[in-house]
Amino acid sequence: MKERLKIAIQKSGRLHEDSISLLKEAGISLFNGKDQLKVQSHTYPLEVYYLRNGDIPNYLKDGVVDLAIIGENLLLEKGDHIPVIEQLGFSKCRVSIAVPKGTRYESINDLSQKRIATSYPNTVQRFLIEKGIKADIHVINGSVEIAPNIGLSDAVCDIVSSGSTLFKNNLKEVEVLLKSQAVLALSPVVDSEDERVADFLFRLRGVLRARGHKYVLMNVPKDRLEAVIRLLPGMRSPSVLPLANENWVSVHTVIEEHTFWEVIEQLKENGAEGILVSSIEKMFL
């Protein structure tokens, strides 16, 4: 029996539910009792550690866990030399600097000698050095948006998703330091060629690939078939099946979701009818 992989996920918060959902879609069920911090899957050789987000990089560095689902922004802040082996495409956000709405701001130079409150001091420091700006960094653990309102800082740097938190605190976003999403990180002490890691990745990629594609079926006049096929960016070659009406065929293909609406419109313009679109549960190449 294979030794169990150990993976860390966020105990609560933004990433928790999406991480659990991803594992479930990959056929990895978890039966978590109340307040358990470590559970084993009964459907896959995996042990899950529920940890505070800020602690996960150290668990990876020390080899306590083999893998972690973690925000890329936190990995850049605390996880030097921890490799990312897969971008997961959810929990997208950005790390940004914001100032009070009434503040005059024309360029990065306006941050010179200002006080910036943040939970991401390393990220901010690297950004300021790169831009040649000197400023005072005040480290705050927790909600930093209140800092300008109580006179603690002139600006803040924090993660931004919708921007609603900034709006509620009368702040405006002025600089984007980096864009982030959930990633799968590998402990530096684990062999990247480990068969257990490869098998786990195979499952996850099947789920992630399916999320980014749609299965499309359509009826196409035979005399427009070549034009329709030229429009399809699907996998290798679409399937073409005969219909009862000998002048028509059924075309089956897979389309990437980010090009979906543009392609559908073009297909209709080139004679496709009866277009059916379906989600894909798993997709393996």
Sign of the CA dihedral running 36, 47, 92, 138: positive
Give the predicted TM-score (pTM) of the model: 0.87
Residue 276 confidence class, pLDDT cut points 50, 70, 90: very high
For residues 98, 102, 108, 111, the Cα torsion angle rounded to the nearest 10 degrees is -80
Q: Note the pLDDT tens digit of each residue in 56-104.
A: 999 999 999 999 999 999 999 997 789 999 999 999 999 999 999 999 9
Model confidence over 166-179: pLDDT tens digits? 999 999 999 999 99
Cα distance between residue 152 and residue 220, in whole Å: 65
Residue 1 pLDDT exceeds 60? no
Report all structural domains of the chain as residue ranges with CATH numbers, in order of start.
5-90+182-210 (3.40.190.10), 93-180 (3.40.190.10), 213-279 (3.30.70.120)
